[in-house]
Structures are given as structure tokens and as C-alpha cells.
Structure 1
Amino acid sequence: MLVNADFDRPALVTPDDHRWTPSPQRGVSRVMLDRVGAEQARATSLVRYDRASDFPSHAHPGGEEILVLEGTFSDETGDYPAGCYLRNPPGSAHRPRSAEGALILVKLRQMAPDDATIVRVNTQDPANWTQGDGRSVCALHRHGDETVDLIEITAGAALLPRHVDGAEIFVLRGGLRWGDRTLPPQSWLRLPGGEYADLRAGDEGLVAYLKTGVIAPIVSTAGERGVPASPADKEYPT
């Protein structure tokens, strides 16, 4: 399956484009933002857990990145309310669930094989934010050329003031001006390398997830061609 799979061109999904489809697990649905692969794919998705829903235990051979947008997401390591950022490295496994229901942004199979850091950041904690260069930043992760942050900027401020090798943006609050459009919350935008002076905060300012660095089409991981030995070894699609 290929969804927004041309990484040399901008890709945009706004809330008007959201098409919720059931996942293989009852009570869990998704919006595919980008996807390269079938059930085991390099994928970026919005995933909604209904109340009292869960997934069987499964592995993530290429890693998993999660930003909790609504509700509370849980697994064996704890309960993570809205605003929590999680990063589970390649080879990790867990059994995700949600008692009250949750909406999460999920990225699968997009980590470098040597990126072994487990990350848990509460972006609601003011202590995790710093101010400088006219913006507030909550640093989430750094590895190689990859930088992941939450960014808050005031109305009209430039989001990308310098050249980037690639960028991925998810609007959390406010709006993002791109040319003559203003992208509302829950809009997702992926950009190839370049300069983007026309990306600015809307009239209400902007809070956004921002990843910069080379946005690669796929990450190859060891054992992808093997058959899972048990349910715990299987990577469930999202």
C-alpha cells in the first residue's frame, strides 16, 4: 500500500481529508497520513482507541513514536495522558491499551537502527520548555540529523526560518499559514528539503509538532522477511 509515498513532493492531510478506517483490532481505527508497505509498513497515522480497547502484545522492529493528542494511552510502562511523547526504539515490544479512550499520532519504522533511546516527555510540564529566538520549544528527541520538538510561535512568525533537509509538521493548536491557506489543528504536512519562508503562524499563533532532518521513505530492519514466531513478535498495523 502506498499513501503519500512520493517523498520528493509536499504531502498534506487536513481534517477535511480524514477518512477513519477500522484497524485489524476491534475498537481501534486510524487515518493513514503516509504509508509504504502492507500490514508491516513504514507508516504515519492518527489512531483512535475506543474506551476499554487494546492491542495484543507486539514488537516494533523499526521503532515507534507516539504523541498523545487526547485521552490517556497506556501500556506496561505506564499511563500517558494527552501531551505525552513516547519513543520506543527498534526491537521494543509492548501491549498498548486505553481505558478511557485516546487519540494518538503514531509513526512506525522510521528510526535509525542505532537509535536505542527510550523517551518519555510530558509536554504539559512547563519545565520541559525553553524560550529563545522568539519561540518556545519543548525538545523531544535528537539523533543524527533528526530533531523532534514541539514549537510555539506567535502570529505571523516563521516556522522554518532557515533551510531544512526535510520537515514534518502536525498542527496542535492555532493555525499554520502556507501560502494562501491556513491549516487548522490536526493538519499534517510533510516537506522535502528546501526553504519555506511562507510557513508562518496564523492569527491565533501556532503550537505544532515539528520534525526536521532527512525524511526517508522507508527504514529497512533486520528480520523483516522472517515469519513471526509468536504473537509477541508480530508488528500490528496502525
Structure 2
Amino acid sequence: MKLNIDYTQRVVIDTTAMDWTPSPLAGVDRKPLDRDGFEVARATSLVRYAPGSRFAAHTHGGGEEFYVLEGVFEDEHAAYPAGTYVRNPVGSRHVPRSTSGCTILVKLWQFEDGDSAQFAIDTSKAEWKSGRVPCQQEILLHQFGSEVVKLIDFAPGCASLFHSHGGGEEVLVLQGTLSDEFGDYPAGTWYRVPPGSSHTPFSRNGCRIWFKSGHLPPRTKLPVVA
């Protein structure tokens, strides 16, 4: 499967208008945002676990990064409530499940070589710090090489500075509406813009976004299967 894999193109998706599609495991559904491959794939997806659903034990050959949007995600290591950001590097192994159900944003096979940190951050307990401008606050979730992952809050009426993203930018709008000179992006919007893109983001009524930059084009290749 090849979906939105031309990283030179701007992609904007209203995920709230998408239908859920079943995964091979009963009770686990997906909304694919980009994907290069089949069940072993470089992929970005929303994944929904029904109460009581689980996957079999598996190893992440290309690493896994996810953010819990709703409910509680679980594995044998911990329970991760909504607002938790998790990185499971290349070679990590677990048995994912959810007792009460959950929805996550998950990225697979997108780790840079040498990025081996494994951790979880409960952002409900993390400290917000000043952002690019005084009306922004942010939580740094991860940084390695040129890659940066953050939560960013825009206060009502906040406008950031005009800037470029040399390594591309990817955003999921969690609350409110983010805007720039190209349009408005209400909660549930996922977008990805190519390296070199420029804009001036702002929010009329305030918003919160999951933000990632500096990670395009992809550096990780899938294994060749004969």
C-alpha cells in the first residue's frame, strides 16, 4: 500500500471525516494517514482499540512512536493515559492492549539511525515552557539530530513568527483551530508539509497541537523481502 508517500507534497486531512478501517486484529481499527508497505510499513495512523482488544507480542523492527489521544493504552510495562507520549526504539518488544479502549496517533519505521531512547512522558504532569513567542507554551517531547517533537499551545489571538521548516513539518490539531495563510485546521486535522515550507501560524480562539519537524525526508528504509 502506498498512501501520501511523496514527501515533496503538502497533505491536509480532516481525520474526523474518515471512516475507520479494520486491522487484521478484531477490535483494532485504523485511519491511515501515510503508508508505504502492508503490515510491515513505514506508516502514520490513528489507531483505535476497542475495550478488551490486544495485539500479540511483537518486536518493532523500525521503532514505534505514539501519542495517546483518548482512553488508556496498556502493555506489560505500564498503563499510558490520554496525553502520554511514548517512544519504543528499533528492536523493542511488547504486548499492546487496552482494557477500557483507547485511540492513539502512531508512527512506525520512522526512527533516525542511532535514536535509541525508550521512554514515556505523561504530559499532564509535564512542565509547560515559553514557546517561540510569549503567547505560546510548549512541552518538548523528544529531540534527536534535526528531529523535534512537541506539544504547543496557542493562546487566543496568538500569532507566531514567519518561519521555514528545513526538514518538513507534521501537525495533528488536538484542540481548537490552528490557522495560517493557507487555511484553517480545526481539531482532528492532520497535515504534513515538505522541507523548505514556510508559513505564519496563528489561532483566533486558541489551540493545542502535536508538532513534529526536521524528520523529512524519511531516513529509515524497510527491509527488502525476497
Q: Same fold (TM over 0.5)?
A: yes
Gaps of 5+ in 2: none
Single out whichever of 173-182 and 54-63 deviates more from structure 2: 173-182
Partner of 1:147: 148
**SS of residue in 1 equivalent to 2:158:** coil
TM-score, length of structure 2 as denominator length: 0.92
Change (3 A) 1:145 1:160: farther
Q: Deviations over 1:70-116 (max 9, x none)?
A: 00000111001100000001111111000000000000000013100
Partner of 2:129: 130
CA contact (8 A) 1:109 1:218 kept: no
Q: What CA distance in whole angstroms lies between the structure 2 residues aligned with 1:81 and 1:171?
A: 18
1:155 shift after superposition: 3.1
Is 1:72 the counterpart of 2:95 in the alignment? no
Q: Deviations over 1:43-73 (max 9, x none)?
A: 0000000000000011111110010000000
Change (3 A) 1:194 1:160: farther
Partner of 2:53: 53
- What pairs with 1:1-238 in structure 2 (closer than 5 Å)? 1-125=1-125, 127-132=126-131, 133-134=133-134, 135-158=136-159, 161-165=162-166, 166-179=168-181, 181-201=183-203, 203-217=204-218, 219-220=220-221, 224-225=223-224
Change (3 A) 1:93 1:161: farther
Q: What CA distance in whole angstroms lies between the structure 2 residues aligned with 1:187 and 1:193?
A: 20
Count of residues paired in the alignment: 223
CA contact (8 A) 1:36 1:217 kept: no
Change (3 A) 1:159 1:25: farther
Structure with the bigger RCO (C-alpha within 8 Å, sep 6+) is: 1
1:180 shift after superposition: 5.8
Single out whichever of 160-169 and 77-86 deviates more from structure 2: 160-169
CA contact (8 A) 1:175 1:182 kept: yes
**SS of residue in 1 equivalent to 2:163:** coil
Q: What CA distance in whole angstroms lies between the structure 2 residues aligned with 1:213 and 1:180?
A: 21
1:129 shift after superposition: 1.6
**SS of residue in 2 equivalent to 1:204:** coil
Q: What CA distance in whole angstroms lies between the structure 1 residues aligned with 2:56 and 2:171?
A: 30
Q: What CA distance in whole angstroms lies between the structure 2 residues aligned with 1:214 and 1:30?
A: 23
Q: What CA distance in whole angstroms lies between the structure 2 residues aligned with 1:180 and 1:118?
A: 36
Q: Deviations over 1:93-152 (max 9, x none)?
A: 111000000000000000013100012111111x42212432111110010000000000
TM-score, length of structure 1 as denominator length: 0.88
Q: Percent identity?
A: 41
Gaps of 5+ in 1: 228-238
Q: What CA distance in whole angstroms lies between the structure 2 residues aligned with 1:48 and 1:156?
A: 33
Change (3 A) 1:17 1:7: farther
RMSD between aligned residues: 1.8
Q: What CA distance in whole angstroms lies between the structure 1 residues aligned with 2:155 and 2:173?
A: 14
Q: What CA distance in whole angstroms lies between the structure 2 residues aligned with 1:29 and 1:160?
A: 38
